[in-house]
Every structure is written in C-alpha cells, then in structure tokens.
Amino acid sequence: MKSGIAARPGSADVSGEAERRRTFAVISHPDAGKSTLTEALAVHAEVIAEAGAVHGKSGRRGVTSDWLEMERARGISITSAALQFAYGDTVINLLDTPGHADFSEDTYRVLSAVDSAVMLVDAAKGLEPQTLKLFDVCRYRGIPVITFINKWDRPGRDALALCDELIDRIGLAAMPLTWPVGPAGQLRGMLDLAEGNTIRYQPAAGGGAAPDLRLDPVRAEAEFGEDWRRAREEADLLLAAGGDFDLTRFTAATATPVLFGAAVRNFGVRRLLDLLVGVAPGPAPRFDTEERARPLDAPFSAFVFKVQTGMDPAHRDQVAFARVCSGVFERGMVVTNATTRRPFATKYAQQLFGQQRSTVDIAFPGDVVGLVNATALRVGDTLYAGKPPVRFPGLPSFAPAHFAVARPADLGRAKQFRKGVEKLGAEGVVQVLRSDRRGEAAPVLAAVGPMQFEVAAHRMEHEFTSPIRLEHLQYRAARRLADPAQRALVDAGRRSEVLTRLDGTDLALFVEEMDLRLLCRGNPELVLEPLVAEGG
Ligand code: G4P
C-alpha cells in the first residue's frame, strides 16, 4: 500500500510544496456517504486497489478509521483521522470529521485545520440538520465549500430543487459544474459544463474506478434524447441566473461549486478530485494571536487541533495531531511549545493512513503530523522552531449543555479515576469542571452532546480500568464568570453554582436561562459572558 508522497525528493521549496497541497474535510449528515466517498477518493488516487480498505463502518472490510469498539458497535465515527495520498502531482490531506452532532466540538477543531470542505448531500434528503450545523462552522471560519450531491443512482429529489435549497437555506449560490442526465434513480450520464461534453454513466464494478467515457453533444443527444435536452435546459437556467463558476465567490465562501455523483458507484468522484486540485485553496499564511500573518516559508510552526488516546488498543498511546502552518517539519527536530515555552522533541512523528502508520520524516504546510506519546501537548497548542516565537489563537470550547458528576464505581481505583478524568479533559472528550465545594473526587463532566458521556464512560472503564457512575445534573445554561470575586453571588443560589474548568475558566451554571436572568437582574454588577455557542 502506498501512503502518498510527503515531499519531492530533495526538495525544500516550502512555498512550492505548500502550493501542491490540498487539505480538506468532508462534512455531511450521517449516512450521506462520507465513508463511501472517502474510500472512492482514495481509489481514484490509486492508493488502494479496493474500496473498504481505508475507512468504513461495522461489517465492512478493514475497518480502520473507527478505532473504538464503541464506534464500531454503533456504526458512528467519533475519532478522526487524517489520510494523506497523492493525486497526480498534488498531495491530498483528507481530515475525517466525526459524524454525530454530539461531537461538534471535535468537528470544529478538525475544521480549524482545513483549507476547504466538501459538503456531501444525499440526493433524496437534501440538506439535513448535521449538514447545516457543520456548514455553519464553515461559514463562521470562512471555509470555501464544494457541494457534492450524492446517491444519484437511486431515486431522489429534483436537481434544480436541491440547488435552490442551497441558496434558500444556507445562502450559498449554486455554481453547477456537472449536471445529471436523467432523474435521480435513472442516471444516464453527467454533463460536464466546463468541458461541454457528457460523461456516460457506467457504474464501476467492485468499487474500482472506470475511465470516463465522454460523448460530444451530438452523440449525447442522440443517445440520451429527452433526458439530455432537459439536463441541458436545467443547467442553462441555473447558469443564466448567475450560476457560472466564479473563483472569487467560491474562495469568499459566498457561492459553492456543485457536482453530482454516486460515490458508491465511483461516479463523479474523479471530477471532485480534479476540482479540489484545480480550484480549492492550498495552505495560506496563518494569523497569530497578534494578528500577524506568518509566511508559509517562515521557520516551522504548527498547531495541535486534536489529541487522541487509545487509537491502538495494544499500546493505548496518545497522539497529538498538528497541522503544519509554516516551514518544514523534519522528524527529530526540537521545537518549542508556545504554551509552556518548553522544548518538545519530535522523535516519534507519524502519518496515519487508516490503521496503518508510517513514520513522517518531512512535512510541509497543510500536512498533518501525528506526534506519538506527546503527553505534554494539548489541543490548541502552538509548536514552533527558531525565532521569533509564534502563537496561534487557541480553539474555543463550546458552551456545554449537559452536566454530570462522575464518581469511581470502585473506590479502590481512585488513582486510575483521577488520571483518566484528567486525560479525557485534556483531550477534550468532555470538559472537566471542579470546585472546592464538590471536592477532587467528584468532578463534573460537561458535554455539548450526551453521547460524549458514553465515550467518556467507555474509555474510563476499558482504558483507565476505572468504571464510573454518572449522576446527571439539571443544569442547562452556562456562562463565563469574568470576575472570580463574584463567585459567591452565583454559589448563593440553589439553582446555580460556579465550577472551574481545567483551563482555569470559571463557568457559572444555571438550571434554566430564567435563573440566570433573575440573578443578573438582582445583581446588576455581576458580569457573565457568553461562551462560544454550538456551531460557532
Ligand atoms: P456515512 O459515512 O456518511 O455515515 O455514510 P456511508 O458511507 O456509510 O454510507 C451510508 C449508506 O449509503 C451505505 O449503505 C452506503 O453504501 C450508501 N451509499 C453511499 N454512497 C452511495 C451512493 O452513491 N449510492 C447509493 N445507492 N448508496 C450509497 P448501507 O446500506 O448503510 O451500508 P453498506 O452495507 O452498503 O455499507
């Protein structure tokens, strides 16, 4: 198995290497076909011979991106991986986002590390809740989005109606680059609007990638008749209404190029890869906390967007995923962690390709490096080499909406309990809150979605060998308490209390928004600030 090209041999042309990288994520509602599309992309890149070897869910061959037993059992992807592969001369970095809404904080972190996103839409369902939420994150971060309308091989909605939905529901103008010939479920071909010809639909057997068979307009009309004429009319209608491809609108994230296809049949996928290579932005200079853009060819810098433990059940090691922002990463280099100002040796740097790991010796802007056993690293940390120091803005924590006190089920395992809770907090699996009042032994776990608790409980039992009991609290609203001296005002209420998060932030929790409003009305001097809301 090839795992992609990390660098041209002997090359240290940082800008050139950055330019040929495309770092993106696929965002979609569960079941829209994200795993299938990931496999199909890799097939086209000739990384693997057969779909199913990279990424998949329960029952599929070679489940590799979904590490945890629980994920397998539930058929959801919680953990995220980064795949790197070569497509022609381009290096593709595909970052996986968790599918379930409860893990949107995690998704947000992954999306902070991409330069573009592919929004995958099920042709029968259109824009679904999780697609909308993820799209909001892209909008918030100004991430350009390519839309891929999937499953055109089976009955679904009307192509024009799906494009209208993009503008009506998320305000993104559709710029179609292909258009299906034949309604969903009776796919016959695909107009390639840029090339002016039609690709015949021929489902690839066994997940392979068949070469495109292109027909000129005369042949296509003769072969597909009314279906072809209708497709042409519909596409022209949209193009005439301002749907012509416009790179500026795409990169400004005000319009989205739209492609149609069937990932499971490997149809339309090559066009998507070509589009990513052709128009999706490569890495750009990143702004530091002083709002200075760090040039791509400045000395090495990267930021940690994800820390994950237990990907390899045999070792239970911790991997910190860092996205390179500038310069060249060379394995073994000693870098500085901007948060702690301490040196960090990058001896064990890996690239994760599905479950296969290979050592990364060199990486460039846009690449993701997995730093193994990086126990000192936290999500949001900046790593840099040389001078001057640099620090990129940290990643915001979302406002939690679910809270539960965790206690060790077995009091004899208090040490493992403490260690596990600490680790889960540092990784961002859940937020960990404490107060003197509740004591060390009864931390409160806080989550954006309740499924985060399941992951925490599962890992406490299986990984840290300290099963926990969770006692759910009634709180639903959280704010940041700006002045620690005002703590007593909140603690005095019976329906509110203050807890301190691992990062030192004081969170004021309330059973209902109404409790919060009443307290503020009675104490106008109280300063409570909103936390980043879910979805940015
Ligand atoms: P996800 O990662 O977004 O959750 O979705 P996944 O790829 O697992 O796809 C969900 C289901 O949709 C799968 O069927 C998959 O085969 C199917 N699918 C994906 N792309 C297409 C497509 O282009 N056309 C059609 N017809 N189906 C598609 P499943 O029955 O749930 O699983 P499986 O047994 O087929 O793997």
Closest Cα to atom 26 of ligand 1: 151
CA 43 to ligand 1 center in whole angstroms: 16
Query: Among 34, 7, 70, which Cα is nearest to 151's?
Result: 34
CA 144 to ligand 1 center in whole angstroms: 25
CA 30 to ligand 1 center in whole angstroms: 10
Closest Cα to atom 29 of ligand 1: 31
The Cα angle at residue 99 between residues 95 and 103, in degrees rounded to 5 = 95
Atom of ligand 1 nearest to the CA of 154: 26
Query: Among 57, 64, 105, 106, which Cα is nearest to 308's?
Result: 106
- Please write down the HEC assignment for all residues of 414-475: HHHHHHHHHHHHHHCCCEEEECCCCCCCCCEEEECCCHHHHHHHHHHHHCCCCCEEEEECCC
Residue-level pLDDT at 1: 34
Closest Cα to atom 24 of ligand 1: 151
> Starting from the edge strand earliest in sequence, which strands make up the sheet with 382-384, in order?
342-345, 334-337, 382-384, 301-309, 318-326, 368-372, 349-353, 356-359
CA 396 to ligand 1 center in whole angstroms: 33
Atom of ligand 1 nearest to the CA of 57: 8
CA 263 to ligand 1 center in whole angstroms: 8
CA 70 to ligand 1 center in whole angstroms: 20
Closest Cα to atom 25 of ligand 1: 151
Measured in residues, the chain has a length of 536
CA 385 to ligand 1 center in whole angstroms: 44
d(CA 383, CA 320): 11
Using omega within 30 degrees of 0 as the cis cutoff, is the peptide bond preceding 388 cis?
A: yes
Residue-level pLDDT at 67: 44
d(CA 179, CA 231): 6
Match 């006190």 to its residue by tokens: 405
Tokens of 291: 């709002």
Q: Residue 79 — φ and ψ, nearest 5°?
A: -75, 160
Contact 202, 189 (CB under 8 A): no
First-to-final CA distance of the chain:
38
Closest Cα to atom 10 of ligand 1: 31
Atom of ligand 1 nearest to the CA of 261: 23
Query: Residues with beta carbon inside 6 Å of ligand 1?
Result: 28, 30-36, 57, 60, 99, 150-151, 153-154, 262-265
Atom of ligand 1 nearest to the CA of 263: 23
d(CA 108, CA 395): 8
Atom of ligand 1 nearest to the CA of 32: 3
CA 186 to ligand 1 center in whole angstroms: 18
Atom of ligand 1 nearest to the CA of 28: 3
Tokens of 486: 């005002």
d(CA 354, CA 356): 5
Task: From 36, 37, 60, give the residue whose CB has the most ligand 1 atoms within 8 Å, as the site to mutate.
Answer: 36
Closest Cα to atom 30 of ligand 1: 31
Query: pLDDT for 352-367, tens place per residue?
Result: 655 556 677 889 999 9
Closest Cα to atom 12 of ligand 1: 33
The Cα angle at residue 195 between residues 193 and 197, in degrees rounded to 5 = 80
pTM of the model: 0.82
- Burial string for 181-214 (b: 16+ CB within 10 Å, else e) reads bbbbeebbbbbbbeeebbbbbeebeebebeeeeb
Residue-level pLDDT at 100: 65
Residue-level pLDDT at 415: 93
CA 484 to ligand 1 center in whole angstroms: 51
CA 60 to ligand 1 center in whole angstroms: 11
CA 153 to ligand 1 center in whole angstroms: 12
Closest Cα to atom 33 of ligand 1: 60
CA 197 to ligand 1 center in whole angstroms: 29
Task: From 31, 41, 77, 121, give the residue whose CB has the most ligand 1 atoms within 8 Å, as the site to mutate.
Answer: 31
Q: Would you write out the chain's pLDDT as a tens digit for each of its 536 residues?
A: 334 454 444 446 899 999 999 999 998 888 899 888 988 888 777 554 333 344 444 334 333 334 455 555 544 444 446 788 889 999 999 987 776 666 767 788 888 999 999 999 999 999 998 888 888 888 888 999 999 999 999 999 999 999 999 999 999 999 999 999 999 999 999 999 999 999 999 876 555 667 789 999 999 999 999 999 999 999 999 999 889 999 999 999 999 999 999 999 989 999 999 999 999 999 999 999 999 999 999 999 999 998 877 655 666 677 888 999 999 999 889 999 998 899 988 877 776 655 556 677 889 999 998 888 777 888 889 999 998 899 999 877 778 889 999 999 998 999 999 999 998 988 888 999 999 999 988 999 999 888 889 889 998 998 889 999 999 999 999 999 999 999 999 999 889 999 999 888 999 999 999 999 999 999 999 999 988 654 33
Task: From 125, 264, 265, give the residue whose CB has the most ligand 1 atoms within 8 Å, as the site to mutate.
Answer: 264
CA 319 to ligand 1 center in whole angstroms: 29
Atom of ligand 1 nearest to the CA of 150: 23
CA 264 to ligand 1 center in whole angstroms: 7
